[in-house]
Amino acid sequence: MKKSILFAMLFMVAGLTANAQEEKKESKVQHLTYKEFLKKVWDFEKDPTTFVYKGKLPAIVDFYADWCGPCRRVAPIMEKLAEEYDGKLLIYKVNTQYETELAKAFQIRSIPTVLFIPVEGQPMMQVGAMPEEGYRKVVVEQLLK
């Protein structure tokens, strides 16, 4: 009996340690506030008619909300792309529930809405969730070309 309890306790400790290590893994996806967006992506307050990207790497901006089912399906895809293209691509998230001014500025009416930003040229917007292959195709063919 004591061996069973000891074994169960060791199993629980091992599980907790694995979960703690998983939680320590830092996300490469950056959450943006309104002010950070103006600083890192586009200062549309200064010039609302001409898109001038402020970054040095192509970027993806995922407009989402925590309660949105399709947004929750897109989130791990964005995490995977951020990890895979680290140093080549920036991935940002904007929570439309809290960053309502940004959502209004981009006329976000449906989420997820994803903004793809090449270093040079105009951004492209995708409304609705796509499968991973769709995001990957845009990254390879439009952003990293």
Nearest to 114 by CA among 104, 99, 124, 122: 124
Q: Which helix (H) or strand (E) holds 13?
A: helix 2-24
Tell me if residue 53 is catalytic. Answer: no
Q: Which is the catalytic residue, given 71, 78, 89, 115?
A: 71
Distance CA 22, CA 66 (A): 21
Which residue out of 32, 60, 68, 91 is catalytically annotated?
Answer: 68
Radius of gyration of the chain (CA): 19
d(CA 13, CA 7): 10
- Whether 68 is a known active-site residue: answer yes
Residues belonging to the active site: 68, 71
